[in-house]
Amino acid sequence: MEKIPLCLIGCGGMGHRHILAYKELEDSGIGNIELMAVCDLNPRNAEMGGREIERLFGRKPLVFTDLDRALACSEIAAVDVVTDPSTHHTVAVPALRAGKHAIVEKPLGLTVRACQAIIAAARESGVVLATAENLRRDPPNRLARSILDHGLLEAPFLMIHNALGGDDQIIITPWRHLKDKGAIGLDMAVHYTDMVQYYLGEFDQISGRGLIVEPVRRRPANHGLDLESYRERFKSFPETVQATGEDGLIALYTMKSGAMVQFSYVAGGRGSGTFERSVHGRRAAFWAPGDRNGRPVILRLDGKELKGAEILPLLPNFAMSEITERLFGAGTVEYQLPFPPIDARHMAIEFHDFGEAVLKGTRPEVDGHLGMTAVAAVLGAYESALAGRQVGMAEVLAGEVRAYQEEIDRSLGL
């Protein structure tokens, strides 16, 4: 099978997890990408990435610490951008202009303008652009989407998406608390706005606000995530970080279908600790279990409660992609696995989809536009509070409301 020679750009915590996912893809037997190079401005992280590839794949990749040199390498056909969000456009735009296909980690860009710069570069070069969005790849989420596709709910009118709870510790890296670097309010909630659009289609109207629940974030006693790259940098974390970026948002969305979404994501609220993702229609409602935990979707229909695989007989057209079936097992819609393989398999599925788009000229499931609308749905809530009114997704995309983003765009030179 033809494989696309790819360079991983950004070998921090998530870059490391991507390497594990490329291994899952290769081991699936239908791998379509060859991870042949890494690039990171931090030589230590670049070398760490190189060593990890050699250990897992038994071959030495090219190791770059300079983006221009990596992009000048004619053997590289595609890049995977896993740098911190404020740099996505500064990496992706030159890569796309150099004719490389690109998959870019969420959030596609820090602002709508940053996303648009990336999308425009892909269009001008005629190459494939995908946004790396892993949560929708989870088999329970595929099942949930299929319940909607089969019309079992009948006229869904409400989605509830609440993820609340946290403390005052620094979340993974200090940049996740800084407005112009990609604060957690956007960094995490963008996954959830993607889940909203995955289930219910296009956003129409947005009202809401951003929050800084914990204004001062403290260095935790241990990092919590056992990845060498995070562990190393943890030593240099400051004792405290003054948060300049949101750690949450509360929003009410109206979708183009007319369905409404009650949405909150808050990485704070010390007594909270709650998660709900449910969709309600005239005839039925379902509760999805969240992500990367393998628990069953629960469907309540006609006075009965069905769980996980029990729902399958009601879904004659339910199908998962070949790569999903290979990695999770055919028809598997609930599972018990530790986090690392779950995480790696979801990403292997998104990489395979990107590879197919490059090889066959098809559209990746999460393209640049969907990556941008997931970002705009979060920023739209912040913009609506500043504008003092409900804002339209169209206005946010057209840059007609951008008071919140102006300062970031200025710092990014956009």
Ligand X SMILES: NC(=O)c1ccc[n+]([C@@H]2O[C@H](COP(=O)([O-])OP(=O)(O)OC[C@H]3O[C@@H](n4cnc5c(N)ncnc54)[C@H](O)[C@@H]3O)[C@@H](O)[C@H]2O)c1
C-alpha dist (Å) from residue 266 to 4, 142, 207, 263, 380 = 39, 25, 16, 10, 16
Question: Which residue is nearest to ligand X, using beta carbons?
Answer: 12
C-beta of 204 vs 228, nearer to ligand X: 228
Crossing angle between the packed helical segments 139-149 and 184-200, to the nearest 10 degrees: 40
Task: Return d(Cα 182, Cα 111) in angstroms, integer.
Answer: 9
Question: How far is residue 155's CA from residue 137's CA, in Å, rounded to a whole number?
Answer: 24
Which is nearer to ligand X, 74 or 236 (by Cβ)? 236
Identify which of residues 65 and 321 has a Cβ nearer to ligand X in the complex. 65
Closest CA to 67 of 56, 54, 81, 55: 81
CB of 372 to ligand X, least distance (A): 14
Please answer whether residues 100 and 127 qualify as being in contact, where contact means their C-beta atoms are separated by less than 8 angstroms: yes
Residue 67: C-alpha distances to residues 12, 17, 63, 107 (Å): 15, 21, 11, 20
Read off φ and ψ for residue 133, nearest 5 degrees.
-130, 110
* Of residues 236 and 336, the one with the C-beta less far from ligand X: 236
Under the rule (CB under 6 A), what is the footprint of ligand X? 9-15, 39-42, 45, 67, 82-85, 87, 90-91, 105-106, 134, 172-173, 187, 229
**Which class for 97: exposed (0-12), middle (13-18), buried (19 or more C-beta within 10 A)?**
middle
Q: What is the smallest separation between the CB atom of 198 and ligand X, expressed in angstroms?
A: 14
Task: Please identify, using beta-carbon distances, which residue of 71 and 153 lies nearer to ligand X.
Answer: 71
At its nearest, how many Å lie between ligand X and the CB of residue 85?
Answer: 4
Query: In 3D, which of 146, 130, 144 has the Cα closest to residue 81?
Result: 130
Q: How far is the CB of 356 from ligand X (least distance, A)?
A: 20
Beta bridge partners of 274: 164
Q: Which helix (H) or strand (E) holds 80?
A: strand 78-81
Least distance in angstroms from the C-beta of 134 to ligand X: 5
Kindly state the smallest distance separating residue 169's Cβ from ligand X, in Å: 16
Per-residue burial over 14-41, b if 16 or more Cβ lie within 10 Å, else e, is bbbbbbbbbbbbbebeebbbbbbbbbbb
Query: 181 φ, ψ to 5°?
Result: -115, -15
- Nearest approach in angstroms of CB 170 to ligand X is 12
Specify the residue, 85 or 268, whose C-beta has the smaller distance to ligand X: 85
Shortest distance (Å) from residue 229 CB to ligand X: 6
Q: 199 or 234: whose CB is closer to ligand X?
A: 234
CB closer to ligand X out of 39 and 255:
39
